[in-house]
Structure 1
Amino acid sequence: MTAEKDYLGVTPPISTMESNEREKEVTMTLMEELRRQNTFESEEEARTREIVLGRVAALVKKFVRQVSIAKGLSEQAANVAGGKIFTFGSYRLGVHGPGSDIDTLCVVPKHVSREDFFEVFEPMLKDLEGVTEVSGVPEAYVPIVKTKISGIPLDFLMARLALSSIPDDLSLQDDNLLRNLDERCVRSLGGSRVIDEILRLVPNVQVFRDALRCIKLWAQRRAIYSNVNGFLGGVAWALLVARICQLYPNAIAGAIVSRFFIIMYQWSWPQPVLLKQIEDGPLQVRVWNPKLYPADRSHRMPIITPAYPAMCSTHNVTASTQIIMTEEFKRGADIVDKVIVGSATWSELFAKHDFFHKYRYYLQVIASTGNADLQIKWSGTVESRIRQLVMKLEYVDSLILAHPFIRGFEQVSYCLSEDEVRAVAEGEISDSVAGRKKEDIEGKEGAGPVYSTTFYIGLAIEPKPTGATGPRRLDISYPTTDFTKLVKMWEKYDEATMGIVVRHIKSSGLPDNVFELGERPPKLVQKRVKGSSKSSNTSPDMPNKRQRSSQSASDLPLKVTENGASNLPSSLPPVVENYAKDRSEIRTPHLPFGENVNVATSAVAAQ
């Protein structure tokens, strides 16, 4: 609490009343359900994490000392140079679960460079007892080293301060520590500073943690937990729950969760969600202000971080993902309302998403290479651009929304020929390839693995207009072609070793690996339309073991003639219907509409 006011947050609480007996009962059942859902780690794993962090803290000090000596500092100066670790993310928030990684920030003095971090610290990690894997990504937006120690995954970031030594009692709360730092160091420090501010600004940390653990599990199960794909990431969810805790400072977890869904569904965005008042300070903090910063007007659900540099944690949200999350808030509010009155259980809130049952048409985005390490970087690059494809699809006439799934599906296929390589990269994996193992191709000339990651986007198409007849076609050739051009602009893109394919498929054509055992609905036998092709590829550029000839498959004409009606109901949910009306003035080149839908991912003349 501050001297000026007796409450936390930018506005007074909505209610300061204590939770009633019913809310206490549902909180108990909520915690029981969270334990049943295996969201808490075991005591043994918790002890292992503490031991690992202790070893890492000692290793960072050793690293700083070693670099200090190498750069000519005296033994005494090297010994007091220090070095300290700070955790952030779900572990620092106290809402991590079994197998979760630990986001760890290594803070070092000014004479230790980022090059030292990757050239000295990374090899030291590899030599540490119990380390099973180490992978550094120095060129990342936030440079990172990923590792696993004694079975615990850790992600290391590094920041050097303008200090000659790092004391053991160092706190990162002082904004002045960020003076004269490069942008990468400021970004690396941001995660820890934001989490510390969140924990400082909630009235009851334990209530906040219990409620956030619930919301985090719900968002993951409903497939809306992914910053990179246009939904909300961990920080944004934490900020929202923290804000509800400020509005109801004396409520317990069950009551906070109940109010969370009601308020989220009714929240009057784009007014920003703030935990504290943000003002320009001596460091010229960049705040969310649409008058001063016009670019901020495009933020659909602005949730602003409470630490310098203040920024919007939800800049990736698109029109489609906002609609999807709003519908999920409504669903959650309905279920929790029933839980409160005793006509539903918490397990219903955590029911698995229905993404792969929801749409008739999907886009597949397939990234592939012939090397496991390269595939990690290539698929990550493609995934980071999926949001751009979604935004382009949103402008296609008669496409209500484009729904990205929150993760890709990885697969390794062992191929014996160039034809098999190309087929796999196009998403066509035969039974013989699917059943083949690594040892089956060893020693065979021209054979090798293909590593592929497939991302999915569900397409919601407007219902056929009343009285309309004849064929209709949805032309998405421009956004898909533009997307492939975008990913190929990556500075490390290599046409000979990296493949990118975008194609549409019907729900009946989804592969088995997107479903859990027994989840897949029975396939219907469908008649094939004369002259139709099996799939449509926008840019079937496949990875090759050798350079391709001058004419690749992307040079070939592509045309789709699969027929099928939209599976959307005749009446749309209000939020979707309103969005469709708002888009009525947006037009892109398209083809005539009619009885059926043809999804075209290449330029096809109107007929």
Structure 2
Amino acid sequence: MSTNGAPTYLGVTPPISVNESNEREKLVTVSLMEELRRQGTFESEEESKTREIVLGRLASLIKKFVHKISLQHGLSEAAADAAGGKIFTFGSYRLGVHGPGTDIDTLCVVPKHVSREDFFEALEPMLRETEGVTEVTGVPEAYVPIVTTKISGIPIDLTMARLALSSIPDDLTLQDDNLLRNLDERCIRSLNGSRVTDEILRLVPNVEVFRDALRCIKLWAQKKAIYSNVNGFLGGVAWAMLVARICQLYPSAVAGAIVSRFFIIMYQWSWPQPVLLKQIEDGPLPVRVWNPRLYPADRSHRMPIITPAYPSMCATHNVSQSTQMIMTEEFKKGSEIVEKVIMGTTQWSELFVKHDFFHKYRYYLQVIASTGDPDLHIKWAGTVESRIRQLVMKLEYVDSLTLAHPFVKGFEQVTHCLTDDEVRDAAQGEISDAIAKRKKEDIEGKEGASVVYSTTFYIGLAIEPKQAGAVGPRRLDISYPTTEFTKQVKMWEKYDESAMGIVVRHIKSTALPDHVFDEGERQPRSALKRPKTAKGSGKSSNTSPDVPHKKRRLVT
């Protein structure tokens, strides 16, 4: 209750219920936590301590970095010492729902005289010289510029924001909106991760219940392959905000009850009604934000979930018609399973059964990105992946295609080739078992030998049933969306036709490579019918009368 006697609550509407959970809900919460432990979602105490040590070392390194740059800018030794520098964690680690081996999203806050160029040109070498650092990769041209590294085996994603301050005190917090004044958009985006995470934790009535429920939902979304912002599903922040909203609606419920109501409400939610954790207000900056009064201008967002820290943004702008349909179906299945769990007719383990993506469709698109250099490939494959959702949206306009289902990760291969023909085949995804087993030492010293690095992304194609009485073969013309996609990818400013390959082709499910399946997940190869070309080889054919049709393989 507030001081004037009026009821207070977290969220934009009053709670649906403030009643405590019943004994059955408390009991299934105990079994839920046991299942989450069996699933390996909690890290060991040893790894937890390692993370703390790594973050302490990183905090010291950032102060040394700021000190070094301060001296280079002519500051005195005393002023350089006072310049400070501080790190903030955000994402799953800050929320307290990280698991074994997951990375730590970390924000490096520096004073105004430290530039972004300094961050990439000076900090990267300092990281490489640091004991225990095994990997350092900078991506300055990313939407949120980032340095990825691994320290003592702990992966770190490091972003940077320079504030309009001459020094960064150790007790600095990022809650004050005025800190965003006079910052460029990249700094604002970098700060937003930490600010949003802290605001989510502030807006939930019971942090421990929120964490337990979110850990469950994250695991479920990962198992069902619907956890990926870049591919048009929901990312970690969006899932966290959805769970936080249910916690606001049931402030006294235990985690098992929150999970149960999460699926019911999400399946019944009237999209595009936005999910808001608090009322959105205009902030101090002339930056366009999502504003309820302007909502009609934002109807392109199919599942709007709005971040609670200024500047508020839609965390789900990548969601497409297809990915929304896929998530809605999973919400429905989840609600049915959890209802059975509450009734005692099934176990929590059923909720976490792995997806059936590679068994679900008869036809798939392969998008294959390839290069001959491992460092270049990281950037090229990432660029291609970031455009996959645009291919999905183009495919949604193809007649007779009811769904284009992108998978949430790519499959990487390193192929050791002896001839130009093998290089060409590897870039097109046609790698024989013999070549796939070849190792680095098998090609060393041999003339003309080279290595191909490739990443293959998959899109499942759902085709509407053949109409009753229809005769003859059907063709799906997907040449336009695939051609436009490859053109768009090649418009990347760093695209080099001589060093980068992009292939889009369709295959039947029977031609899927073994490495997309877990061991023992598919039938023995001999039991599968292989699609054949006119010559009878095992390569996929793009001219079969029944398969999605395009002109020929799109090969660069």
Same fold (TM over 0.5): yes
**Within the alignment, does 1:69 sit opposite 2:71 as a pair?**
yes
**Within the alignment, does 1:562 sit opposite 2:524 as a pair?**
no
* Alpha-carbon separation, structure 1, partners of 2:91 and 2:481: 35
Percent identical residues = 79
Select which of 520, 525, 528 maps to 2:529.
525
Structure 1 residue 431, shift from structure 2 partner: 2.2
Structure 1 residues 423 and 603, CA gap change in structure 2 (3 angstroms)? closer
* Alpha-carbon separation, structure 2, partners of 1:530 and 1:441: 32
What residue in structure 2 maps to residue 598 of structure 1? 547
Judge conservation of contact 2:510–2:530 (CA < 8 Å) in 1. Answer: no
What residue in structure 1 maps to residue 27 of structure 2? 25
What residue in structure 1 maps to residue 58 of structure 2? 56
Judge conservation of contact 2:280–2:292 (CA < 8 Å) in 1. Answer: no
What residue in structure 2 maps to residue 552 of structure 1? none
* Alpha-carbon separation, structure 1, partners of 2:531 and 2:226: 35
What residue in structure 2 maps to residue 249 of structure 1? 251
Letter paired with 1:510: L
Judge conservation of contact 2:42–2:100 (CA < 8 Å) in 1. Answer: yes
Judge conservation of contact 1:258–1:336 (CA < 8 Å) in 2. Answer: yes
Structure 1 residues 527 and 397, CA gap change in structure 2 (3 angstroms)? closer
* Alpha-carbon separation, structure 1, partners of 2:249 and 2:211: 16
TM-score, scaled relative to structure 2 = 0.96
Select which of 364, 369, 374 maps to 1:367.
369
What residue in structure 2 maps to residue 395 of structure 1? 397
Judge conservation of contact 1:285–1:308 (CA < 8 Å) in 2. Answer: no
TM-score, scaled relative to structure 1 = 0.88
* Alpha-carbon separation, structure 2, partners of 1:507 and 1:320: 20
Structure 1 residue 2, shift from structure 2 partner: 7.2
* Alpha-carbon separation, structure 2, partners of 1:318 and 1:455: 17
Letter paired with 1:355: F
Structure 1 spans left out of the alignment, 5+ residues = 537-558, 564-596
* Runs of 4+ in structure 1 over 4 Å off: 1-5, 526-536
What does 1:577-592 correspond to in 2, within 5 Å? none
Secondary structure of the residue aligned to 1:41 is coil
Secondary structure of the residue aligned to 2:275 is coil
What does 1:15-164 correspond to in 2, within 5 Å? 15-164=17-166
Judge conservation of contact 1:125–1:134 (CA < 8 Å) in 2. Answer: yes
What residue in structure 1 maps to residue 169 of structure 2? 167
What residue in structure 2 maps to residue 510 of structure 1? 512
What residue in structure 2 maps to residue 177 of structure 1? 179
Structure 1 residue 221, shift from structure 2 partner: 0.4
CA offset digits 1:355-388 (Å, max 9, x no partner): 0000000000000011111110110000000000
CA offset digits 1:554-579 (Å, max 9, x no partner): xxxxx83325xxxxxxxxxxxxxxxx
Letter paired with 2:529: V
Structure 1 residues 533 and 598, CA gap change in structure 2 (3 angstroms)? farther
Judge conservation of contact 2:103–2:156 (CA < 8 Å) in 1. Answer: yes
* Alpha-carbon separation, structure 2, partners of 1:154 and 1:312: 25
Secondary structure of the residue aligned to 2:314 is coil
Judge conservation of contact 1:505–1:535 (CA < 8 Å) in 2. Answer: no
* Alpha-carbon separation, structure 2, partners of 1:444 and 1:511: 28
The count of residues paired between Structure 1 and Structure 2 equals: 549
What residue in structure 2 maps to residue 260 of structure 1? 262
What does 1:421-460 correspond to in 2, within 5 Å? 421-460=423-462
Judge conservation of contact 2:66–2:80 (CA < 8 Å) in 1. Answer: yes
Judge conservation of contact 2:177–2:284 (CA < 8 Å) in 1. Answer: no
What residue in structure 1 maps to residue 288 of structure 2? 286
* Alpha-carbon separation, structure 2, partners of 1:178 and 1:475: 49
Judge conservation of contact 2:111–2:165 (CA < 8 Å) in 1. Answer: yes
CA offset digits 1:491-534 (Å, max 9, x no partner): 11111111111110000000000001100134333685868996
* Alpha-carbon separation, structure 2, partners of 1:374 and 1:495: 13
Structure 1 residue 281, shift from structure 2 partner: 3.1
* Alpha-carbon separation, structure 2, partners of 1:292 and 1:208: 31
CA offset digits 1:255-295 (Å, max 9, x no partner): 00000000000000101100000022333563334763665
Structure 1 residue 58, shift from structure 2 partner: 1.0
* Alpha-carbon separation, structure 2, partners of 1:603 and 1:423: 15
**Within the alignment, does 1:309 sit opposite 2:291 as a pair?**
no
Structure 1 residues 200 and 526, CA gap change in structure 2 (3 angstroms)? closer
Structure 2 spans left out of the alignment, 5+ residues = none
Judge conservation of contact 2:67–2:84 (CA < 8 Å) in 1. Answer: yes
What residue in structure 2 maps to residue 351 of structure 1? 353
- Could you tell which deviates more after superposition, 283-292 or 68-77? 283-292
CA offset digits 1:122-175 (Å, max 9, x no partner): 111111111111111111111111111111111111101001111111010000
Structure 1 residue 599, shift from structure 2 partner: 1.3
* Alpha-carbon separation, structure 2, partners of 1:327 and 1:95: 25
What residue in structure 1 maps to residue 485 of structure 2? 483
* Alpha-carbon separation, structure 1, partners of 2:174 and 2:78: 25
Structure 1 residues 105 and 267, CA gap change in structure 2 (3 angstroms)? same
What residue in structure 1 maps to residue 236 of structure 2? 234
Structure 1 residue 466, shift from structure 2 partner: 1.2
What residue in structure 1 maps to residue 209 of structure 2? 207
Structure 1 residue 598, shift from structure 2 partner: 3.3
* Alpha-carbon separation, structure 1, partners of 2:142 and 2:476: 37
Judge conservation of contact 2:505–2:542 (CA < 8 Å) in 1. Answer: no
Structure 1 residues 530 and 57, CA gap change in structure 2 (3 angstroms)? closer
* Alpha-carbon separation, structure 2, partners of 1:172 and 1:530: 64
Judge conservation of contact 2:506–2:542 (CA < 8 Å) in 1. Answer: no
What does 1:4-23 correspond to in 2, within 5 Å? 5-23=7-25
